[in-house]
Chains A and B, each alone.
Chain A
Amino acid sequence: MSSIPNPDVGTLPPQAKRARAPRRLLPRPVENFLVEMGRFFQLLGRLFAWTPRPPYDFRELLRQMVRVGFDSIPVVFLTAMFTGMVMSLETFTTLRRFSAENYVGSLVALSMVRELSSVLTGLIVAGRAGSAMGAELGTMRVTEQIDALEVMATDPVHYLVVPRVWASTLMMPLLVIMADGVGIFGGYLVSVVLMGANPVSYMSITYQFMDVSDVTAGLIKAAVFGFLFSAVGCQQGFYTTGGAEGVGKATTSAVVLASIAIIIADFFLSRLLF
C-alpha cells in the first residue's frame, strides 16, 4: 500500500500534459492510508447494498465455500493438531512444577476454543484463500475482465465479491469447530500417550470449566475473521494496477493486511465477548 493505485486506468499516458500537482494537505503515507480505508469502506458499502439483490448465484457461493472451506481442511487440521499438541506439552511440563498437571486438559481446551483455533485458522486461511482472492481479482482487473463484467451489465462487486465474502464468513466457523475438536484431541494425545496422564480425568477436566459461551465466542470471532480476510483480499485485488507486478503486490498486501486486521480485531473481540 505504498502507492495509490488508480483503479480506472492501467497506465497513464506519458505524453499527456502535466498540470502542476495540487498542494498536499497531508503527508503522503497518511493520505495513502486514508485513500485505502476509504476504498475499503466503499467496497463494504457496495457489498452490503448488492447482497440482497437478485440474481442469487448459489452455484458460485457453493464453489467459493468449497475453495475456502473444504480445501482448507488439511492445513487447518494440521495446524490445530500440532498447536494442541505443543500446548499440552508446554503446559504439562510447566504445571507439573506446581503439581497442577491435572489442569492441563482444561487449559489446552480453553485456550484452543477461546483464542487459538479462531486466530490461527484465520491467519492460515487468510494466507491460503485471502491471497488467492487478491491474486484472482487482481489478475481479472489487469486483464480487463472486471471491465468486461461491467460492460456486460454485471456489477463486479455483486458477481465477484459478494459470494467470496459470504462464503468465507460462513465457512470459517465450521473450520474452527473442527480446529477446536482436533486441537483438544491433539492435547489429549500428548498428555495421555506421551506424559502418561489419566485419560478419564483428563477428559473430564477438559470440559469441566468450559462454557457454551466460550465456544460461541470463538465461532463469532471466526466469522468476523472470515469476513475480514475476504473483504481485504477482494479489496486489494479489486483495485490492482500495474500488470503482473501489481498483482504480486496485491497478493502480498492481501495477506499482510488481513493478518494485521485479524490480530487487531481479535483483541477487541476478546474484550467485547468475554
Chain B
Amino acid sequence: MPDPRPAASASPQAKISLRGLHKSFGPKVVLDGLDLDIQEGESMVIIGGSGTGKSVLLKHVIGLLKPDAGTVLVDGVAIETLGNREITEFRRRFGMAFQEGALFDSMTVGENVAFPLKRLSKKSPAEIKERVEECLAMVHLEGVADRVPSQLSGGMRRRVGFARAIAQQPEILLFDEPTTGLDPITTAQINEVIKEINDQLKTTTVTITHDMESAYTTGDRIAMLYQGKIIADAPPEEFRHLADPRVQQFLHGRAHGPITDEDAGDTEGAGKRTAVNR
C-alpha cells in the first residue's frame, strides 16, 4: 500500500506545519510523532475516533498545549518557542470555534461576539457593533444579539461561536467538532455555514470531526488521525476510495476491523514500544 501522506519534507509555503509532534498525559501517549502540513487557504478536515487526540492536536496548533517533542510551525514560526506576550500577538491571527460554542454565559450574544474585538482591536464601539451584526449575519443569526446564550439552541450557540471566531478576521480558523451531537438537519445547516465561511473568507481552516458527511462537504483535504499519527491524507474523493483497512473501517462505521481488533490485542505491545521510545 503506498503511503498516502505527502513526502515528509515540508513545502516551505505550508501555512501550518506539524513536525514530529509527541504529547503524553501521564502514562498515556496521545500524539506519537505526528506530521501534517496545511497549505494557505486550504480547508483541512482531521477525522478520527472519539478520544484519538483530535482536540489535543487542535490545541497544539493554537498553542494551548505545548508538545513534549516536535514542533508546530505557523508561517515558519515555531509557536512553542514563543513567550507569553508573543503568543498573545500570535493568537490574534487565529479564530477558534469550540465544541459546544464555549460562549460566556454571563454575557449576551452580542457581547460574546464583540469580546475579541474589544480585547484585540482598536475599533470604536460603533464599529464593533457594526462588525458584530456583520458576523451574526454571516452565520444567519440576525437579531439575536441581545439574547443570552442559555436562550439559544445548540446549533445556534455553535453558530454564535463561529461568529465570535471570525469577528477578528483571522487568517486561520479552527473548528472543534462543529457538528457533534446535533440532529441531521442542524448538522447540514452548520456544514453549509462552514462552507460559506470558507468560500467567502478564504481563510486557512482546520476542522476536527468524526462526522464523515461534514468532512466531505467542508474539506479540501481529509486526514485521519489514528494512534497518535496521521495514517491517511487525501482530497475527499480520493479519501473515500483509500485502500487502508483502518480508513475503510472508519468510513463505513464497522464495529469490527483493524482499529478495534488491534486496540484489543495490542495494548501490551504498544505500551512496551512507547516505554522504549521514551
Contacts and interface: CB of A to CB of B under 8 A. Distances in A.
Interface residues of A, number: 26
Given A13-B53, A18-B270, A148-B102, A8 B94 contact: no
Interface stretch (A19-27, A76-84, A177-185, A216-224): A19-27
A152 B270 CA distance: 38
Contact of B30 (A16, A20, A144): A16
Interface in A10-54: 11-22
Nearest to B174: A151
A20 B119 contact: no
A6 interface: yes
Contact of B102 (A18, A22, A147, A153): A147
A12 B30 CA distance: 8
Contact of A18 (B52, B59, B120, B267): B267
Given A16-B29, A17-B32, A19-B275, A143 B100 contact: yes
Contact of B29 (A19, A22, A153): A19
B27 A153 contact: no
Given A151-B64, A153-B91, A13 B275 contact: no
B96 A148 contact: yes
Give the interface centre of A11, A140, A143 by most chain B CB atoms within 10 Å: A143
Contacts of A148: 96, 98, 102-104
B99 interface: yes
B116 interface: yes
Interface string B1-35: 00000000000000000000000111111101000
A71 interface: no
A15 B32 CA distance: 13
Contacts, number: 106
Interface residues of B, number: 46
A148 B89 CA distance: 15
A20 B275 contact: yes
B228 interface: yes
Contacts of A20: 27, 271, 275
A66 interface: no
A5 to B, nearest CB: 11
A195 interface: no
B115 interface: yes
Nearest to A150: B64
Contacts of A140: 104
Nearest to A55: B119
Given A9-B56, A151-B91, A16 B28 contact: yes
A148 B30 CA distance: 22
B116 A15 contact: no
A12 B28 contact: yes
B108 to A, nearest CB: 15
A168 B174 CA distance: 37
Contacts of B28: 12-13, 16-19
B115 A19 contact: no
B274 interface: yes
- Residue picked from A6, A19, A143, A153, most chain B C-beta under 10 Å: A19
Contacts of B256: none
Given A143-B102, A152-B115, A16 B91 contact: no
Contacts of A201: none
Contact of A8 (B27, B65, B96, B119): B65
Interface of A: 6, 8-9, 11-22, 140, 143-145, 147-148, 150-154
Interface of B: 24-30, 32, 49-53, 55-56, 59, 62, 64-65, 88-89, 91-92, 94, 96, 98-100, 102-105, 115-116, 119-120, 227-228, 263, 267, 270-271, 273-275, 278
Given A17-B228, A17-B271, 15 more contacts: A8-B65, A9-B56, A12-B25, A13-B56, A15-B51, A19-B24, A20-B271, A20-B275, A21-B26, A148-B98, A148-B102, A152-B91, A152-B120, A153-B91, A153-B119
